Amino acid sequence: MQTSQKINQPVVEKLDELLAPGQTYASVSAKIGDIVLYPVLKTPWGWIGGIAIAGLLLMLYLYSLATLFTVGIGIWGINVPVAWGFDIINFVWWIGIGHAGTLISAILLLFRQDWRTSINRAAEAMTIFAVACAGIYPLVHTGRPWLDYWFLPYPSTLGMWPQFRSPLEWDVFAISTYATVSVLFWFVGLIPDLATLRDRAQHPVAKFFYGALSLGWRGAAKHWQRYEVASLILAGLSTPLVLSVHSIISFDFAVSQLPGWHVTVFPPYFVAGAVYCGFAMVILLMIPIRKLFGLEGLITLKHFDVMSKVMLASGLIVTYGYFGEIFYAWYSASIYEYFLIVNRTVGPYAWSYWALIIFNVLIPQLLWFKRFRTNLPILLVISVAINIGMWFERWVIIVLSLHRDFLPSSWDVYNPSFYDWATFIGSFGLFFVLFFLFIRLLPMITIFEVRDLVHKTAHKAHDQKGH
């Protein structure tokens, strides 16, 4: 009795709280659940407008892919020597964005970071959709996409198998595994919330929909115990997985022998970069959503503050990588490595290298100051800058290494074509259509974990107050 009353009365207000004061089990469940459950006709205009625009972009995406299939890969700007362009740049960029989600939900779970609770669901969703956008690129960047199934090890009448020494083949396994595990992990996390929705829903259709998805979860103590074991295991699996995925993608380059690709530091440096722009994207998504659905109570400044710190840290690792590359170029005493840096800094594409330095190294230094970390408009700008910067990083790695490699005779330039841009911009359509559907149909914050947070906060407050 005592405690229950304590819970229902407001606990003492503290700065940078993870929860606005006065939250109860019921209030948070209602707050988050209602976003999904209230009637179709009451859907906010912001959401409708958003998905409409995204839908248009998706059309553009489908159009450019259709052209790609029928006319040929030549509609892109690629050539020899620059045989990879926007396709692989955007593939790596999207995959990178995905990583923040897994990191938040898995690694922070292992580290028992409470602040993950109100953002991990959306971040995981972002992961899955980003991986979808990324995964499409390697499939369509081939000259004969209708034969992509040759990447899979299946018993064919040809008696042929894939070539398991190729980093691209590693990608096939890494990305498919990553996508699968992310979806499973996400679904497991959803089960108790779906049950909540089932129990709160009024409309029979909603009840049926969420009821079926929740598999009949009823919160039995034994289930909870198994459930927590499973989540821990999945977190334990996802953590090395997420590290391996971007490492393997970095192998696409590191395993080759091109100056600027053949770099041993790539795996950690790619992973850090992925986290870097992943968090930027989370912030980018959270700031408007928080406004749109009035979630200030659940996603507080504290969240943004902590995420900014993570960005700053990973940003510094990336910066270290940039200086590392310059150092190797000098230390290797290889004319090719040396020329690579010269070409990056003063070559025809120098502007992109310096853009990378500005967006990825200089601007994020603002995050040292709390007043920028907690100033959402500025944080929004910084996040955009970081996403652009990380895109330029992939551009620099891929295009600047390819366009001037060993034989000066084969040096050439790369100009992205209309279809390069259309496919890239279109992929945002796919991403946001999925994301808008997600926030309308599924709880974008893990309800049961927030309830748990309410409980913890209450008890902390209680312990501090009492006796």
DSSP 393-429: HHHIIIIIHHSS-S-GGG-------HHHHHHHHHHHH
In 3D, which of 99, 461, 377 has the Cα closest to residue 246? 99
- Asked whether 278 and 103 are in contact (CB, 8 A), the reply is yes
Is 220 one of the binding residues for another protein (CB under 8 A)? yes
Q: Which of 111, 164, 327, 351 binds another protein (CB under 8 A)?
A: 164
Q: Which of 10, 49, 226, 296 binds another protein (CB under 8 A)?
A: 226
Q: Which residues in the 68-127 window bind another protein by CB under 8 A?
A: 69-75, 77-84
- Asked whether 299 and 409 are in contact (CB, 8 A), the reply is no
Q: Which of 65, 125, 241, 434 binds another protein (CB under 8 A)?
A: 241
Instruction: Spell out, one character per residue from 381 to 410, where the chain touches another protein: x when CB under 8 A holds, - when not.
Output: ---------------------x-xxxxxxx
- How many other C-beta atoms are found inside a 10 Å radius of the C-beta of residue 466? 10
Is 218 one of the binding residues for another protein (CB under 8 A)? yes
Q: How far is the CB of 133 from another protein (least distance, A)?
A: 19
Q: Which of 63, 354, 411, 421 binds another protein (CB under 8 A)?
A: 411
> How buried is residue 316: exposed, middle or buried, by Cβ count under 10 Å (0-12/13-18/19+)?
middle
Nearer to another protein, 419 or 432 (CB): 419
Q: Which residues in the 176-205 window bind another protein by CB under 8 A?
A: 176-177, 180-181, 184-185, 187-188, 192, 195-196, 198-200
Nearer to another protein, 161 or 368 (CB): 161
For 7-27, b where at least 16 C-beta lie within 10 A, e where not — what string?
Answer: beeebeeeeeebbeeebbbeb
Q: Which of 10, 21, 55, 219 binds another protein (CB under 8 A)?
A: 219
Cα–Cα distance, 237 to 229 (Å, whole number): 12
First to last CA, the chain: 17
Q: Which of 211, 273, 315, 426 binds another protein (CB under 8 A)?
A: 211
Q: Which of 42, 165, 371, 467 binds another protein (CB under 8 A)?
A: 165
Is 26 one of the binding residues for another protein (CB under 8 A)? yes
Nearer to another protein, 91 or 353 (CB): 91
The helix/strand/coil state of 311 is helix
In 3D, which of 48, 92, 85, 93 has the Cα closest to residue 68? 85
